[in-house]
Amino acid sequence: MKTKAIIFDLDDTLVSEYSFVKSGFAAVAKHLAKCDTGVFAHFAGSDTAVLWEEFLALFHESAKNVFNRFLDMHGVNGYTEDEVFSLVKVYREHEIDREIYKPYDDVEDVLSTLCEKGIAAGILTDGFAVSQRNKIRALGLDKHPAIKGIVVSAEHGEGWAKPSAKGFELLCDELAVKPGEMMYVGDNPKKDFYISRNIPIKTVRIIRGGGVYENAPYFEDVREDHRIEKLEELYAFI
């Protein structure tokens, strides 16, 4: 069946997830350097570049509890979980630095080519709703002429995150295509390719190199139909 629509995952498919991490930690570093009251007054006037590098070093050690570990490292005592969450909130909801956060080099050419070929493009992404919407806006994907549908699963509530079929089914309706006319491009073996068990959609795994889930196991060992390293390789399957 001819491909009429291609749905893309966002993180580590169209843009490096690590670039958002860097932008987020930069925002938190700037936030802390401006705090002059409470437990965070410890960081008032700090060199934001130094704080940023410390965050990144901790993240490379482990992505878990970075802010707790950062505060412990600096000997900040008596902080509460609410105060830690205030940093998480800054990270998730920050205004993204567009000098740091940019799409992969092949994205624009492929989206433009799909548009010329009359193939609709869409986005289906999990993650915190505010963060994902901020990412999409920062990349200009919400206004891109090739993008005909965007689903942020968290905006629809419980049961919508991949590998649920709900987001795919909504995009089928929005793009006026059947599942068999749709292709999905993602990077995460834990949830991106199992959809082919539920609906007859073709799946493609892109290996960007250095992706968060590059070495993750496949969910129930359901694998992609095709594997690529550059988006241009999609043309061979459509």
pLDDT digits (tens, 9 = 90+) for 54-73: 999 999 999 999 999 999 99
pLDDT digits (tens, 9 = 90+) for 143-197: 999 999 999 999 999 999 999 999 999 999 999 999 999 999 999 999 999 999 9
Q: Both tokens of residue 173? A: 């309706």
Whether the bond between 189 and the residue before it is cis, its omega within 30 degrees of 0, is no
pLDDT digits (tens, 9 = 90+) for 23-42: 999 999 999 999 999 999 99
Q: Kindly tell me if the per-residue pLDDT of 1 is higher than 90.
A: no
What is the per-residue pLDDT for 210?
82
Q: Which residues contact 132 (CB under 8 A, 6 or more apart)?
A: 10, 125, 126, 152, 154
Q: Kindly tell me if the per-residue pLDDT of 92 is higher than 90.
A: yes
- The model's pTM is 0.94
Give the C-alpha distances (Å, rounded to integers) separating 221 from 15, 24, 45. 26, 33, 51
Could you tell me which of 76, 97, 78, 98 has the C-alpha nearest to residue 32? 76
CA dihedral 178, 182, 187, 189 (to 10 degrees): 50
CATH class belonging to 5-16+104-237:
alpha beta
Q: Give the whole-angstrom CA distance, residue 75 versus residue 57.
A: 17
Length of the chain: 238
